[in-house]
């Protein structure tokens, strides 16, 4: 007897006349969709771990998971509703347990303060910059003034002078290393957390070219394999860029090898602003294309070999070949986190073919999500995971509709002429682009503070060119590179022509008015509401699914009315800015620290960064005064004019004196301020601080407090 039957699926066994009876019957009728929520609960538990401010004990997740599961099994026949709730709790606890365990497995020392001196280590990977330098991923064996126990697992050092070492080389170089940076705005991207889950404990640059030194061979077989693969990537990158030395070759190499260092800033900006940035990084689109091309090629070859196809299952052989090809693409792509996730999703689809199961189904996507989160729990809080699964789930739900399948010509037995097939293909392309764009838009806006106004147009051109021109030719070139570099170079040069067309499309679309739509930073609550509403809409099939639109609408309302800061102070105290009444960002020194200012402007949903003197009374470049929300405000850089600022202001924002890092002992004489913000953070841990000028009192928020005491914050 199923759980649904025990809960009263038979109307005669448990007649109900309550107001909730329609909901009850709808819930019971959709029992085949219950299992899809297991992935949602698992992700919820995983996300709850990252939302904590203190690190939980390892045993907590295990106890909660096994306890809820065991109690649910005991109560399954007596209290089925309670058992169902306990099973949901067990899935949630399992996600929490997986995140805790995954964090412990990657835990490694990180730099606590900047270090300058000699670094000795073994090069694991190299990303050339196309100008003779590059970025080295090094496993350090010695760093000046650090003990062996304090050595990071990996450091990334930028080398501006060649020749660049190869993976497997031992190097000695003088470098400046710093810990991965804090967020530059509360609620912003946590660079230190991302680096922690990559095993990256320090980032810096070399003062001079590195010296190649002898180094003992690695003790782990996986490191040996990784170094060999990294050398193969570099060789393939060299072949591609020799055949196509321009921007087309650089972007093509990024698509094939995952090495993006040679892409110019203008090209990368155009690809991002036109909505084509997903073509640069190896993602699910590329992995699916490669697997699909191999699958189709093997099926075509077997069609010309009837004796073989009659004796062997051609579809399964093609799926196995595609799986091996996808694994090779994963290796050539450098085992990057998005590439690993794409491989898991594609691999499970191919395994479904091998086991005679549906390839495109929501249960398969749910299983893929759980597998990815078990392997990479931190992927949940990254935009790549969110956007990929949002697009896939939305597209599968779209093509579950009989109406859409009929219009797209996907129903079996449908016979149509060439014009109708062409129209169905165009409809499918438009519907796919529109639905995928709508599904990923909230996550792109939340993560990047912008949306592409013409992403549909650019993708309608770029995706077919990529699928029918660039990827087949590039795959052929990659295979030919194993036997003939000259033949491979011809293929790569031809593929680069197609990539130049994509870049031209990106440049044209990015130049149109309204190509970039800034979006002010909204709360995670709004994003979660939109996510829950979207899942409710696509998982259920009956009429009550449309209730998900209410949650989406509420999320959109909250996103449209974010609580934005009025004043910004960077973690080092050298950058100060305020939000103007027109929504633009006004900085005290707009020509400096553009990275920080761009992040602040992104938070405000604006592209305009202007001089603070336009909206405040500034005396030089180190003291500005203004009135806002009934307060007299003074903004000063350094402490030389701090007493002057305090004399006539109620709120003082004081930046750091770059010549010293000493906390002010207290308010200076004569300072009648109600609030004083300095580099020391006054309880904000020295990180960036924002101030919202509420009518009642200023509301301050720092980046350090919300991050809590976690492995990546120590």
Q: Dump pLDDT digits (tens) for 207-227.
A: 988 999 998 888 888 889 989
DSSP summary character for residue 138: E
What is the average pLDDT across 437-448?
89
Question: How many CB atoms lie under 10 A from the CB of residue 358?
Answer: 11
With a cut of 70, say whether residue 203 has pLDDT above it: yes
101 touches 58 (CB < 8 A): yes
Question: How long is the chain?
Answer: 714
What is the pLDDT at residue 425?
A: 66
b/e 516-533 (16+ beta carbons within 10 angstroms → b): bbbbbbbbeebbebbbbb
**CA 348 from centroid of its chain's CA atoms:** 21
pTM of the model: 0.87
What is the average pLDDT across 675-685?
47
For 362-371, 582-591, 601-610, 665-674, which range has the lowest pLDDT when averaged over its residues? 665-674
b/e 572-584 (16+ beta carbons within 10 angstroms → b): bbbbbbbbbeeeb
Q: pLDDT-based confidence at 404, cuts 50/70/90?
A: low
Range of 188-197, 421-430, 584-593 with top mean pLDDT: 188-197
The radius of gyration of the chain's CA atoms, rounded to the nearest angstrom, is 28
> Can you tell me the distance from the alpha carbon of 128 to that of 144, in angstroms, rounded to the nearest whole number?
26
For 345-349, 476-480, 516-520, 665-669, which range has the lowest pLDDT when averaged over its residues? 665-669
Q: pLDDT-based confidence at 674, cuts 50/70/90?
A: very low
What is the pLDDT at residue 11?
A: 42
Average pLDDT, rounded, for the chain: 84
pLDDT one-digit tens code per residue, 261-301: 889 989 999 998 898 888 887 777 788 888 888 988 888 88
Exposed, middle or buried: residue 541 (CB in 10 Å: 0-12, 13-18, 19+)?
middle
With a cut of 80, say whether residue 337 has pLDDT above it: no
Domain borders along the chain are 3-106, 115-216, 524-560, 567-707
> Can you tell me the distance from the alpha carbon of 646 to that of 624, in angstroms, rounded to the nearest whole number?
12
Cis upstream peptide for 163 (omega within 30°): yes
What is the average pLDDT across 438-464?
87
What is the pLDDT at residue 658?
A: 46
With a cut of 50, say whether residue 103 has pLDDT above it: yes
Question: Which tokens in the block code for residue 302?
Answer: 């077997």
Residue 649: φ, ψ to 5°: -140, 155
With a cut of 70, say whether residue 661 has pLDDT above it: no
With a cut of 70, say whether residue 421 has pLDDT above it: no
What is the pLDDT at residue 685?
A: 52
Q: Report the alpha-carbon angle 449-440-601, nearest 5.
A: 0
Q: Higher confidence at residue 67 or residue 642?
A: 67
Question: Which tokens in the block code for residue 178?
Answer: 């710093």
Range of 308-317, 425-434, 575-584, 615-624 with top mean pLDDT: 575-584
Question: What is the percent of the chain with per-residue pLDDT over 90, rounded to a whole number?
Answer: 37
What is the pLDDT at residue 493?
A: 95
With a cut of 50, say whether residue 190 has pLDDT above it: yes
The answer for residues whose C-beta is within 8 angstroms of residue 13's C-beta and 6 or more apart is none
What is the pLDDT at residue 405?
A: 63
With a cut of 60, say whether residue 660 has pLDDT above it: no
What is the pLDDT at residue 452?
A: 83
User: In CATH terms, is domain 115-216 a member of 3.90.1570?
Assistant: no
For 168-172, 497-501, 545-549, 638-642, which range has the lowest pLDDT when averaged over its residues? 638-642
What is the pLDDT at residue 681?
A: 41
Helices 418-448, 524-539: axis angle to 10 degrees equals 150
157 touches 196 (CB < 8 A): no
What is the pLDDT at residue 136?
A: 95
The answer for residues whose C-beta is within 8 angstroms of residue 703's C-beta and 6 or more apart is 182, 183, 184, 185, 186, 188, 571, 684, 687, 688, 689
pLDDT one-digit tens code per residue, 481-491: 888 889 999 99
> Can you tell me the distance from the alpha carbon of 385 to that of 381, in angstroms, rounded to the nearest whole number?
8
28 touches 9 (CB < 8 A): yes
Whether the CA torsion 704, 706, 712, 714 is positive or negative: it is positive
Question: What is the percent of the chain with per-residue pLDDT over 70, rounded to a whole number?
Answer: 89
Q: Report H helices in 34-75.
A: 37-50, 58-74
What is the average pLDDT across 667-680?
52
* Residue in 175, 196, 208 with CA at minimum distance from that of residue 102: 196
367 touches 351 (CB < 8 A): no
* Residue in 386, 393, 379 with CA at minimum distance from that of residue 98: 379
What is the average pLDDT across 320-324?
91
């Amino acid at each position: 007897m199923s759980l649904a039957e025990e809960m009263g699926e038979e109307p005669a066994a448990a007649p109900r006349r309550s107001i909730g009876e329609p909901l009850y019957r709808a819930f019971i009728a959709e029992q085949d969709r219950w299992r899809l929520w297991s992935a949602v609960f698992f992700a919820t538990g995983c996300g709850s771990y990252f939302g904590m401010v203190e690190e939980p004990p390892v045993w907590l997740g295990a106890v909660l998971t096994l306890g809820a599961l065991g109690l649910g099994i005991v109560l399954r026949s007596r209290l089925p509703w309670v058992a169902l709730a306990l099973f949901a709790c067990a899935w949630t606890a399992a996600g929490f347990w997986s995140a805790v365990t995954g964090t412990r497995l990657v835990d490694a020392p990180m730099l606590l303060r900047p270090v300058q001196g000699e670094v000795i280590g073994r090069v694991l990977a190299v990303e050339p910059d196309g100008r003779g330098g590059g970025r080295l991923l090094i496993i350090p064996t010695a760093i000046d003034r650090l003990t062996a126990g304090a050595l990071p697992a990996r450091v990334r050092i930028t080398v501006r002078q060649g020749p660049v070492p190869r993976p497997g080389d031992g190097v000695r170089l003088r470098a400046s290393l710093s810990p991965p940076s804090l967020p530059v705005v509360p609620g912003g991207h946590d660079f230190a957390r991302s680096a922690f889950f990559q095993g990256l404990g320090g980032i810096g640059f070399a003062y001079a070219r590195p010296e190649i030194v002898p180094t003992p061979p690695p003790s782990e077989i996986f490191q040996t394999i990784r170094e060999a693969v990294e050398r193969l990537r570099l060789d393939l990158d060299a072949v591609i860029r020799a055949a196509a030395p321009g921007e087309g070759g650089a972007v093509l190499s990024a698509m094939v090898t995952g090495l993006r260092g040679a892409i110019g800033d203008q090209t990368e900006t155009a690809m991002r602003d036109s909505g084509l940035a997903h073509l640069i990084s190896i993602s699910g689109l590329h992995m699916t294309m490669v697997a699909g091309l191999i699958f189709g090629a093997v099926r075509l070859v077997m069609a010309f070999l009837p004796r073989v196809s009659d004796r062997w299952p051609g579809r399964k052989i093609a799926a196995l070949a595609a799986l091996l090809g996808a694994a090779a693409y994963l290796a050539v792509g450098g085992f990057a986190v998005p590439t690993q996730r794409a491989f898991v999703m594609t691999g499970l689809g191919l395994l479904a073919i091998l086991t005679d199961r549906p390839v495109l189904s929501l249960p398969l996507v749910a299983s893929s999500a759980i597998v990815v989160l078990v392997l990479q729990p931190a992927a949940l809080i990254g935009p790549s995971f969110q956007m990929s699964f949002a697009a896939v789930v939305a597209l599968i739900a779209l093509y579950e509709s009989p109406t859409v399948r009929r219009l797209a010509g996907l129903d079996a037995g449908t016979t149509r002429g060439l014009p109708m097939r062409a129209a169905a293909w165009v409809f499918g392309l438009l519907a796919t682009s529109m639905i995928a764009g709508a599904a990923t838009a909230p996550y792109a806006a939340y993560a990047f503070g912008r949306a592409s106004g013409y992403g549909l147009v650019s993708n309608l051109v770029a995706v077919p060119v990529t699928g029918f021109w660039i990827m087949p030719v590039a795959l052929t070139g990659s295979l030919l590179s194993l036997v003939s570099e000259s033949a491979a170079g011809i293929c790569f040069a031809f593929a680069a022509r197609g990539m130049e067309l994509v870049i031209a499309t990106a440049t044209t679309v990015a130049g149109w008015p309204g190509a970039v739509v800034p979006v002010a930073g909204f709360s995670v609550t709004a994003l979660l509401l939109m996510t829950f509403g979207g899942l409710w809409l696509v998982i259920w099939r009956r009429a009550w699914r449309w209730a998900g639109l209410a949650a989406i609408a509420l999320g959109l309302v909250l996103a449209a009315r974010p609580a934005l800061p009025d004043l910004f102070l960077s973690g080092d105290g050298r950058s100060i800015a305020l939000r103007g009444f027109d929504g633009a960002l006004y900085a005290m020194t707009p020509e400096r620290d553009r990275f920080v200012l761009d992040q602040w402007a992104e938070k405000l949903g604006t592209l305009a960064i202007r001089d603070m003197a336009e909206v405040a009374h500034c005396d030089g470049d180190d003291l500005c005064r203004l009135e806002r929300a009934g307060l007299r405000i003074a903004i000063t850089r350094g402490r030389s004019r701090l007493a002057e600022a305090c004399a006539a202001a109620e709120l003082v924002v004081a930046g750091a004196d770059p010549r010293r890092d000493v906390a002010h002992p207290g308010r200076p004489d004569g300072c009648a301020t109600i609030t004083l913000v300095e580099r020391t953070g006054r309880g904000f841990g020295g990180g960036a601080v924002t101030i919202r000028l509420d009518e009642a009192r200023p509301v301050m928020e720092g980046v350090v407090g919300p991050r809590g005491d976690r492995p990546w914050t120590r």
